[in-house]
Chains A and B, each alone.
Chain A
Amino acid sequence: MTAPTSLRRLAETREILLCCGPGGVGKTTIAASVALLAATSAPGRVLVLTIDPAKRLADALGLSGIGNDVVRIDDETLRAAGAVPRGELYCAMLDMKQSWDDLIRRHAPDARTAERILSNPLYQNITGRFVQSHDYIAMERLHELHSTGEWDLIVVDTPPTRNALDFLDAPARMEEFFSSRLLRWLIAPARGGILGMAARPFTQIADKILGTQFLADITEFFLSLQSMYGGFIERARAVSRLLSDERTSFLVVATPEPAPLREAEFFLKELARRKYEIGGLVLNRALPESLAHHDTELAAAELAAQVAQVASETAAVLGADPAATERVLAQTASSSAQWSVVARREAAARDRVATAAPLVVTVPSLDDEVGDLSGILALGRVLGAPA
């Protein structure tokens, strides 16, 4: 497909948009804005899925406790926020534990196996306490939602960059894991009992480190899971295909500050290496462009140099206290000078990435934080404008 000329076009022509990037750049809000943009620009069913452990979509959308279910934001709510819905907007969050449990129940060969897996202490730890399995289940959930065929567009919010990379690799890793010789090798002798394993050197070392009971738990766990391997591998492959499908595109989100931007560039490189489609780069929370202008700097210096005179004229016109006016104008000038430094640094960074993606969209820092639907709507309009 040819590169779209705006995010709006991109959202209209793709089925899956993955928003990725470093932490703290407003990814969740951008994902929600793109989804709302899509739901207000064309008919269709749009779903925004947040995979972030912090479950922030609920906050950004002013919703809470929507759990693992898909929830529709009704037209009335959208209209109240100033939007004119043309499509339908839904949102969903990833409840890790719930998703794993559902997955096991759905794909286990029978109820007994499902219960055996669900009650294994290892399973409970994998799903409840640790995060590595998060990446995999996120992809499973995306696959599950996409394969229902219910959505015209799914916008996905992902965990921060390094995690997001894990998340891209998760299906392949899962496949590798389940087809590993080591796994088969570990499980095979277990059928003959733990004692059969004891002779193997690996088992001896592992036993010394971990203890027999623990090894038995591991073996039991994977024996129960074995019936589901085929399905795991099959779906992992399906997810990999889905990510490289031409209907899928990636949006990299960053702020124009040095560290987040470096991460975003790294991420763009990785996406390109994996031959995924890069839809665009969003530079969120940019300072007003006027701050980087050389004229602004000159004006601030001029104001600082002549502050007493300007203050007395200004105070006279406004009928204000001259001393206070001078104080305020001096502060204004020095604050402007400080922010110009930051703005110039940002401008240089923006120049550097100007051609890093087919579409680079800059979103100005808004005076108020985007915390409700109308804010998300406004952001969506900025995002959707032609580049």
Chain B
Amino acid sequence: MPTALLERRLLYVTGKGGTGKTTVAAGLAWLLAQQGKRVLACEVDAKGDLAAAFEAGKVGFDPVQVPSGPLVMSMDTEASLREYLKLHLRIPVIGRIGPLASAFDFVATAAPGVKEILTVGKFCYEVRAHAYDVIVVDAAATGHVISQLTAPQAINDLVKVGLIRSQTDWMLEILNDHDLTGVVVVTTPEEMPVLETIDLLRNLREQTDVDVAGVVVNRTLPELFGVRDEALFAEIAAARPGSLADARFDGVFDAARHATARRRLAARHVATLRAALPEGLPLAFQPYLFARAEGLRATRQVASSLAGEFS
């Protein structure tokens, strides 16, 4: 039996842009915090959306405590480098790193993987340091996440000696430990997100040893009608006898038609996804939020439905 998603210590939440991975990452972090765990939620692309999901205002590299929730931080590779130098080279750096930062920028541009490793390295470090029970990462979108997760291996291949090399080994150990680390892929029941999810799962399998802990299908619409009722609905909508013929009901029927059409499409894409998933991989559904699409209220709703799916 693989370690349950909620029992792991590093959750790497990713997915195609626009699928709501930030909302799911926030929901997971909130849920874990409600279970009494000390949780660090970190946003990688610094858009501020994760902080907004907790109504936490502007958040930087230093974690901010969300009242009765997780601690939130935002990744900053320069700050991460500073921390790295302090921890590993014993070089305390006060204020801006100045020339060293530009030198670093240069090396990072020249030697891809350096920036990624500071990102991934920070999370692995937090796993090892045990200051938090669990780290939830609102990671990069599908295209970039592979390069982040493969960065330690890439550096390992490129750099034969030196400090970075000695660091990549333990990072790989943490990332590849299926009890500790799990990728959570967020998708929506739409064509492109589903195809991209299937691609991502294959790429993760082929290019890394990192385990996928679960797939979350976000914005799942409720089933409006059973098969027989749907046929009846079509009949009623076509005939609209009596008072229903009035034009003021146009919108009402439009809405239901829209809902059934979307639901039908979604079912098809979920079937495709299901057929492509490796056996035993948890697939969770997250309902479409009609009333609130963002903010702490939405995060709490997501957390409570994730609790039902993953516990």
Interface residues in chain A, defined as those with a beta carbon under 8 Å from any beta carbon in chain B: 22-25, 53-54, 56, 59, 121-122, 125-126, 129-133, 159-160, 162, 177, 180, 182-183, 186, 202, 205-214, 217-218, 221-222, 255, 257-260, 263, 287-288, 290-291, 293, 295-296, 298-300, 303, 310, 313-314, 317-318, 320-321, 324-325, 327-329, 331-333, 335-336, 338-343, 345, 365, 367-369, 371
**Is B130 part of the binding interface, using a Cβ–Cβ cutoff of 8 Å?**
no
Q: How far is the CA of A202 from the CA of B104 in the complex (A)?
A: 9
With a cutoff of 8 Å between Cβ atoms, the chain B residues found around residue A211 in the complex are 159-162, 164-165
With a cutoff of 8 Å between Cβ atoms, the chain B residues found around residue A56 in the complex are 192
A sample of 7 inter-chain contacts (CB < 8 A) reads A130-B113, A208-B89, A210-B159, A259-B49, A296-B254, A310-B244, A336-B251
Known contacts A209-B162, A320-B232; is-contact A331 B224 (Cβ 8 Å) = yes
With a cutoff of 8 Å between Cβ atoms, the chain B residues found around residue A287 in the complex are 258
Are B248 and A296 in contact (CB-based, < 8 A)?
A: yes
**Which of B103, B193, B249 is within 8 Å of A206, CB to CB?**
B103
Task: Tell me the minimal C-beta distance from A258 to chain B in angstroms.
Answer: 6
Are B242 and A314 in contact (CB-based, < 8 A)?
A: yes
**Which of A53, A186, A257, A333 is within 8 Å of B252, CB to CB?**
A333
**Which of B109, B147, B243 is within 8 Å of A129, CB to CB?**
B147
Are A368 and B103 in contact (CB-based, < 8 A)?
A: no
Are A327 and B229 in contact (CB-based, < 8 A)?
A: yes
With a cutoff of 8 Å between Cβ atoms, the chain B residues found around residue A126 in the complex are 112
Q: How far is the CA of A362 from the CA of B244 in the complex (A)?
A: 29
Are A303 and B160 in contact (CB-based, < 8 A)?
A: no
Are B255 and A291 in contact (CB-based, < 8 A)?
A: yes
Given A291-B258, A310-B242, A367-B258, 15 extra CB contacts under 8 A: A23-B18, A24-B16, A131-B143, A162-B45, A210-B159, A210-B162, A255-B18, A260-B18, A318-B236, A325-B232, A336-B253, A336-B256, A368-B261, A368-B265, A369-B191
Q: B249-271: which have CB < 8 Å to A?
A: 249-259, 261-262, 265
Q: How far is the CA of A22 from the CA of B47 in the complex (A)?
A: 12
**Nearest opposing residue in chain B for A203, CB measure:** B103
Are A22 and B254 in contact (CB-based, < 8 A)?
A: no
Binds A, one of B28-36, B57-65, B176-184, B286-294: B286-294
Are A213 and B252 in contact (CB-based, < 8 A)?
A: no
**Is B235 part of the binding interface, using a Cβ–Cβ cutoff of 8 Å?**
yes
With a cutoff of 8 Å between Cβ atoms, the chain A residues found around residue B188 in the complex are 24
Q: B156-171: which have CB < 8 Å to A?
A: 157-165
Are A341 and B164 in contact (CB-based, < 8 A)?
A: no
Q: How far is the CA of A341 from the CA of B290 in the complex (A)?
A: 7
Are B293 and A345 in contact (CB-based, < 8 A)?
A: yes
Are B252 and A332 in contact (CB-based, < 8 A)?
A: yes
Q: How far is the CA of A259 from the CA of B158 in the complex (A)?
A: 39
**B112-141 contact mask (Cβ, 8 Å, vs A): 1 or 0:** 110110000000000000000000000001
**Which of B144, B159, B192 is within 8 Å of A214, CB to CB?**
B159
With a cutoff of 8 Å between Cβ atoms, the chain A residues found around residue B164 in the complex are 209-211
Are B235 and A303 in contact (CB-based, < 8 A)?
A: no
